[in-house]
Amino acid sequence: MAAPKKCLAKTSAGKRCKRNATTNGACEIPKHQAQVSPAEDRTKTDDSGLTVGQRQAVEIIAAAAPKATHTNLAKVCGVRRRATISEWLANSVFAEAVLRRRRELSRADYGEVIKGLTVGAKLGDVPAIRTWLEHHGLLKQQLEHSGPDGGPVETSTIDLSKLSSNTLRKVRDELAK
């Protein structure tokens, strides 16, 4: 059984309350319940299994540059340790949420990219024309294999019936490596 979550409110001395929290994130003390609003409950999970803080981090991480460091992401997400970001990304639910959000953001930009390619192609930009044609399946790269001096590819066969079973076993073992 999981340990009960602690109250998120602070005592009059400014320290975190040590009592167990109820469903709203605060203990039974009325002042503490007034102190902790649902928006401040960063430990409560929703249907997706993510906390409020993690859902906010999903948005930040999904929109971040691919080379953003965990230290920088931790600062932007408001978490104290960069290890928290690593731990969250190791969680399959969190990682899938980030990937899903990145796909959503990419789809939003997709139309603009295609419009840009189309404009470039209409203006005569050769790389844009080529990319636009490839994207629409109108230009396919053909690849041809040839042997020495443009001749046919040479093939050969080996008669394995002349090899001993011991030799065949060694060949099989080598190929399996």
Instruction: Give pLDDT tens digits for 101-110.
Output: 888 888 878 8
**Per-residue pLDDT averaged across 25-50, rounded?**
63
Of the candidates 76, 91, 19, 138, the residue with the CA atom closest to the CA atom of residue 10:
19
User: At the topology level of CATH, where does 46-135 sit?
Assistant: Arc Repressor Mutant, subunit A (1.10.10)
Q: In the chain, what percentage of residues exceed pLDDT 90?
A: 6
**16 against 115, higher pLDDT:** 115
Provide the mean pLDDT of the chain: 80
Would you state the pLDDT for residue 174? Answer: 87
Q: How far, rounded to the nearest angstrom, does the alpha carbon of residue 40 sit from its chain's CA centroid?
A: 27
- Checking if the pLDDT of 42 tops 80, the result is no
CA distances from 36 to 16, 40, 46, 47 (A): 12, 6, 17, 21
Structural contact between residues 88 and 45, judged by C-beta atoms closer than 8 angstroms:
no
Q: Where are the domains of the chain?
A: 16-45, 46-135
**Phi, psi dihedrals of residue 118, rounded to the nearest 5°:** -65, -45
Question: What percent of the chain is predicted at pLDDT more than 70?
Answer: 86
Can you say how many angstroms the Cα of residue 53 is from the centroid of all Cα atoms in its chain?
A: 18
